[in-house]
A and B are shown apart, each in its own frame.
Chain A
Amino acid sequence: MRVKIVGLGGIGCAVLKTLPQFLAFRFPGIEIVLVDGDRFEPKNRDRQITDILGNKAESLAEVLQKQRLELWFEAVPEFLTPQNAITLIREGDAVFLCVDNHATRKLVSDRCQELKDVILISGGNEFTDGNVQVFWRQNGQNRTLPLTSEFHPEILSPADKNPGEMGCDRLAESEPQLLFTNNAVATVMLNAFYAFLEGKLDYDEVYVDILTNNTRQVRRESVSQ
């Protein structure tokens, strides 16, 4: 298994606060690939876990490698595109998708649909709520729904654009986010990963609301193959 973390903003950084320690204990020597074409800027300091400015994937890989865990970190300083998705998302991967646009969610879900064995855990949030979707393929069969199921037409037909296919000058300003919501979504993503490893993953989606402190897991009836 190789672990890929795509998108290193608020949720991705929250995932990286605890995932490496767990992986070092459970899978010593494993490789973690960090993918993001964006850069850490001084204005991001409240949500980032490194003071190093520059490309997010390269900065985080440098910091995490210094922790001397028995892990290897590889930085891919690129946004995901239809071209590089083929080489970056591969058989047997565990993919933590922490991006800020539905176009990339669709791209990665579609790529996973081409693979026989893969686990994709995708998190997204608004200011105080969010959700986590889990797309698990095993032996060429969908064990859970793709991100692009009929229940999420906003991902099936995204209105936004993949930043990898936009010019730098057209990248949108990031909107304000609440760190607590990023952390809550990241925690649910990690819980789903642990349930997968333990053979107890039996849901498609989990909703999170930090104002009511509720989470709700959903197992949908319809499964598109």
Chain B
Amino acid sequence: MSIRVVCGANAQQVEFAGRTVADTREYLQQSLNIPADARVLVTGRAVADDYVVQDGEQVEFVRESGRKG
């Protein structure tokens, strides 16, 4: 029952299927350095924080583009 969670360049496979996006964000906030206001895509579709992630899905917390150059 695993899902893949990505944020920026980093990704992690976790046994977290059946939990909400909000739970996932809280659980991985530090290890993936997830911005608090990051938009969420599940398998490419925008979802709300109460979406329940299914086995095999990919959750992406979309990082903003780098600002500096």
Q: Which residues of A contact B (CB under 8 A)?
A: 7, 9-12, 98-102, 105, 122-126, 129-131, 133, 147, 151-155, 160, 174-175, 177, 182, 185, 207-209, 212, 214-216, 220-222
Given known contacts A221-B44, A222-B44, A124 and B65 CB-to-CB distance under 8 angstroms: yes
Residues of A within 8 A of B64 (CB): 152, 154
How would you classify the secondary structure of chain B's contact residues: helix, strand, loop or mixed? loop
Shortest Cβ distance from B60 into A: residue: A218
User: In the bound complex, what is the Cα–Cα distance between A215 and B63 (angstroms)?
Assistant: 13
Top 6 A-B pairs, shortest CB-CB distance: A124-B66, A130-B66, A209-B9, A125-B66, A207-B9, A214-B9
User: In the bound complex, what is the Cα–Cα distance between A151 and B38 (angstroms)?
Assistant: 11
B68 A125 Cβ-Cβ under 8 A: yes
A209 B8 Cβ-Cβ under 8 A: yes
A216 B11 Cβ-Cβ under 8 A: yes
Chain A nearest CB, measured from B55 CB (Å): 20
Residues of A within 8 A of B9 (CB): 129, 207-209, 212, 214-216
Chain B nearest CB, measured from A49 CB (Å): 15
B10 interfacial by beta-carbon distance below 8 Å:
yes
User: In the bound complex, what is the Cα–Cα distance between A155 and B62 (angstroms)?
Assistant: 13
Most buried by A among B8, B11, B67, B68: B68
Interface string of B33-69 (1 = CB under 8 A from A): 1000001010010000000000000000011111111
Within the complex, which residue of B62, B66, B69 is in contact with A9, where a contact is CB–CB below 8 Å? B69
B6 interfacial by beta-carbon distance below 8 Å:
yes
